[in-house]
Amino acid sequence: MENKQIATFGGGCFWCVEAVVQRLEGVELVVSGYTAGHTENPRYRAICSGTTGHAEVVQVTFDADKISYEDLITVFMTTHDPTTLNRQGADKGTQYRSIILYHDAGQKAIAEKVLQNVKLVYSDPIVTELVPMEKFYPAENYHQNYYNSHLTKGYCRVVIDPKVKKLRDLYADKLKT
């Protein structure tokens, strides 16, 4: 029996986070989108301006009988840099901030626990925001499944490939077969 749940988080460009999370056993759907801002129905150009307050995130539907929320958040926190404020690599701006959006009190408690645990992994302070999930806006279709559809593009090879490799190196036991 499936135990479907939803998780929402962002750590830089949503293409990177999407590519990592899609490969995890138990993950059924990953939708790139925007949240945590003040603009209704934002579009990508507005997001890039930095004026909407939104972050690029992924919304993940997963089977909690196959991967726990704790494992999902731990993978997320260790496959991006949660110590850089409003930045991942060359991507700069508030839309690229590290953020976990909890859907209920249970998710909040688990995320707080993971944040405490991963503090030990990093020498710099964790800057990941932990906020309640409010409204999620799916990104435009051309952003969905980006890495899998554009494996040979420069950004995918230079920026996303190393994150996927890190996932394989750290979490081979959690990958889809």
- For residue 13, which amino acid is it? C
Q: Is 66 helix (H, G, I), strand (E, B) or coil?
A: coil
pLDDT in tens, 112-171: 999 999 999 999 999 999 999 999 999 999 999 999 999 999 999 999 999 999 999 999
Which residue segments constitute the domains of the chain, with CATH numbers given?
A: 4-174 (3.30.1060.10)
pLDDT above 70 (res 84): yes
Residue 68's pLDDT is 98
Three-class SS state of 5:
strand
Q: Containing H/E element for 72?
A: helix 69-79
Say how many Å lie between the first and final Cα of the chain, rounded.
Answer: 20
Band (pLDDT 50/70/90 cuts) for residue 1 is low
What residues are labeled active site? 13
